[in-house]
């Protein structure tokens, strides 16, 4: 049945309340429990999500396992065409999905949510086109033996996604897994369950029943049983380092492969010869101020050469001050809200810690004056200067609109400061000197390094980190081949 467009996100959220999607159908949670999903801009309920537990996981995995066999036997290009068609249909729902994710996540529609919905669709089209690359090799082992390898799906994949960019991060897990011949059970984030549920509903128009299933619920009650289930043969997780360790330990008990995309404290190096206007714009985008800094790749450590430091800080403050904070569904809004009260309290606590540690606080932009938003989870962006390298705000991931600006004298000093972190997800360097750029990209300890730009995750760009930022890569052909298939070696003796 075609899924009709619904551009009122409040109506859509209500229609998606209280259900999982298993075997192509909406089903109520077995335990009958639901929980409130709040609009962070008003702190009011927009619906109630199904609270999944081990029984729901058992049902979903059983269905996925049964569906996976037939799905894997389809020709790879046929699977790819179906996944690409999902992307084309999702592209027709960009406005609808953008509004719904803005409502439940608090991210501004124009600057963040609609963009994310577009990238979601593109990711499915991209991976759909890679189906022909699921190929093996011939090996010159012995002239009397035909030796070759093939790529085979791993089976049922458990995909656990976070709340900050749930559409994109679901797509980079689900799309390659499906194209490779696996079935998938998604566990959504409890703060943002409805938009990803809607995506899965839309995709049911194209996919066979049971190939893609989605549960909502909490980590211990739903995510834990999914990771531990004996028939889940691969887990892809995006979230905090602490939870990532829990997932890794549980998966290790079964000796199954795991992809982990965890935290970050990404450096941005601005050399003395950099184009300062471009660098300031890059800091606005890289720090993800329009997303309230809620990004693993946020450039939260900005290292500026002493010759540019004061001018850079002044320009950055002016730019951030010009951003309008308001209702995420308003097209005029640049900055929305923090995801929930707990995260807002955490961010505000870090801001207080930064001031107590002796850093100079620059509080920017302005809170919305709309009385309807008085209870919303809004936080003014903060830039700290005069930050000590060992300060907590300089070392710990805040996941909010808080940036630390440091001053440096030499290139070596900048590289040393940039690498002095437990994280290694992303990094950027801003310079007009080619040699400086090349040396920096070699020496920076990060998995995703850019020069004179600060792009977010894109199809066909291998994405992932080192150190505590995680294991494995996503969003590329490599991720599909290495993380969602296993290689089988075949030898035919012809003597």
Task: Name the one residue in this structure whose structure tokens are 């020709």.
Answer: 75
Q: And the tokens for 131?
A: 């189906």
pLDDT exceeds 80 at position 1: no
Pairing of strands 466-467, 423-424: antiparallel
Mean of pLDDT values over 280-285? 98
Instruction: List phi, psi (to 5°) of 212.
Output: -130, 120
Tell me, what's the pLDDT at 7? Answer: 96
Distance CA 326, CA 323 (A): 10
Tell me, what's the pLDDT at 104? Answer: 98
Mean of pLDDT values over 117-139? 97
Give pTM, 2 decimals.
0.97
Tell me, what's the pLDDT at 2? Answer: 85
The pLDDT tens digits for 19-58 are 999 999 999 999 999 999 999 999 999 999 999 999 999 9
Question: Is 331 assigned a catalytic role?
Answer: no
Of 247, 201, 244, the C-alpha closest to 224 is 247
Which listed residue (104, 116, 261, 445) is catalytic?
A: 261
Q: If DSSP states are collapsed to H, E and C, what string results for the chain?
A: CCCCCCCCHHHHHHHCCCCEEECCEEECCCCCCEEEEEECCCCEEEEEEECCCHHHHHHHHHHHHHHHHHHHHCCHHHHHHHHHHHHHHHHHCHHHHHHHHHHHHCCCHHHHHHHHHHHHHHHHHHHHCCHHHCCCCEEEEECCEEEEEEEEECCEEEEECCCCCHHHHHHHHHHHHHHCCCEEEEECCCCCCHHHHHHHHHHCCCCCCCCEEEECCCHHHHHHHHHHCCCEEEEEEECCHHHHHHHHHHHHHHCCCEEEECCCCCEEEECCCCCHHHHHHHHHHHCCHHHCCCCCCCCCEEEEECCCHHHHHHHHHHHHHCCCECCCCCCCCCECCCCCHHHHHHHHHHHHHHHHCCCEEEECCCCCCCHHHCCCCCCCCEEEECCCCCCHHHHCCCCCCEEEEEEECCHHHHHHHHHCCCEECEEEEECCCHHHHHHHHHHCCCCEEEECCCCCCCCCCCECCEECCEECCECCHHHHHHHHEEEEEEEEECC
Vertex 186 angle, CA 257 and 338, to 5°: 105
Which listed residue (296, 397, 445, 474) is catalytic?
A: 296
pLDDT exceeds 90 at position 283: yes
Question: Is 112 assigned a catalytic role?
Answer: no
Query: How many CB atoms are closer than 10 A to CB 26?
Result: 15
The pLDDT tens digits for 296-334 are 999 999 999 999 999 999 999 999 999 999 999 999 999
The pLDDT tens digits for 361-388 are 999 999 999 999 999 999 999 999 999 9
Distance CA 255, CA 233 (A): 9
Tell me, what's the pLDDT at 492? Answer: 97
């Amino acid at each position: 049945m075609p899924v009709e467009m619904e551009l009122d996100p409040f109506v859509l959220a209500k229609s998606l309340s209280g259900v999982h999607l298993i075997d192509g159908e909406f089903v109520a949670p077995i335990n009958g429990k639901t929980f409130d999903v709040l609009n962070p801009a008003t702190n009011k309920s927009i619906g109630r999500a199904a609270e999944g537990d081990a029984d729901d996981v058992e049902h979903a995995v059983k269905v996925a396992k049964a569906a996976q066999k037939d799905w894997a036997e389809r020709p790879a290009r046929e699977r790819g065409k179906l996944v690409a068609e999902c992307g084309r249909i999702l592209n027709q729902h960009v406005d609808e999905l953008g509004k719904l994710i803005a409502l439940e996540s608090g991210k501004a529609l124009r600057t963040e949510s609609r963009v994310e919905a577009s990238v979601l669709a593109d990711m499915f089209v991209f991976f759909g086109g890679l189906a022909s690359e699921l190929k093996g090799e011939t090996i010159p082992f012995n002239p009397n033996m035909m030796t070759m390898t093939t790529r085979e799906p791993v089976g049922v994949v458990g995909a656990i996604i976070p709340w900050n960019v749930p559409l994109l991060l679901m797509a980079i897990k689900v799309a390659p897994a499906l194209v490779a011949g696996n079935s998938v059970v998604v566990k959504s984030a409890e703060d943002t369950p409805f938009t990803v549920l809607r995506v899965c509903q839309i995709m049911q128009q194209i996919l066979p029943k049971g190939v893609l299933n989605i549960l909502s619920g909490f980590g211990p009650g739903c995510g834990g049983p999914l990771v531990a289930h004996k028939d889940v043969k691969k887990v892809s997780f995006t979230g905090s380092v602490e939870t990532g360790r829990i997932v890794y330990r549980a998966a290790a008990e079964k000796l199954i492969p795991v992809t982990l995309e965890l935290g970050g404290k990404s450096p941005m190096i601005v050399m003395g010869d950099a184009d300062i206007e471009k660098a300031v714009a890059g800091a606005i985008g890289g720090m993800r101020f329009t997303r309230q800094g809620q990004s693993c790749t946020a450039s939260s450590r900005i290292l500026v050469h002493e010759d540019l430091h004061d001018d850079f800080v002044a320009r950055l403050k002016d730019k951030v001050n010009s951003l309008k904070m308001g209702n995420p569904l308003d097209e005029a809004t640049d900055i929305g809200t923090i995801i929930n009260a707990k995260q807002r309290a955490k961010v505000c606590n870090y801001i207080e810690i930064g001031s107590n540690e002796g850093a100079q606080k620059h509080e920017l932009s302005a809170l919305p004056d709309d009385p309807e938003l008085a209870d919303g989870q809004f936080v003014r962006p903060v830039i700290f200067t005069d930050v000590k390298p060992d300060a907590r705000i300089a070392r710990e991931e805040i996941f909010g609109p808080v940036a630390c600006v440091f001053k440096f004298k030499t290139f070596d000093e900048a590289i040393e400061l940039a690498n002095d972190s437990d994280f290694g997800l992303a990094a950027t360097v801003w310079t007009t000197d080619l040699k400086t750029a090349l040396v920096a990209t070699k020496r920076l300890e990060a998995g995703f390094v850019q020069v004179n730009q600060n792009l977010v995750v894109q199809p066909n760009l291998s994405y992932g980190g080192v150190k505590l930022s995680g294991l494995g890569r996503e969003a590329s052909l490599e991720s599909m081949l290495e993380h969602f298939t296993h290689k089988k070696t075949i030898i035919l003796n012809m003597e």
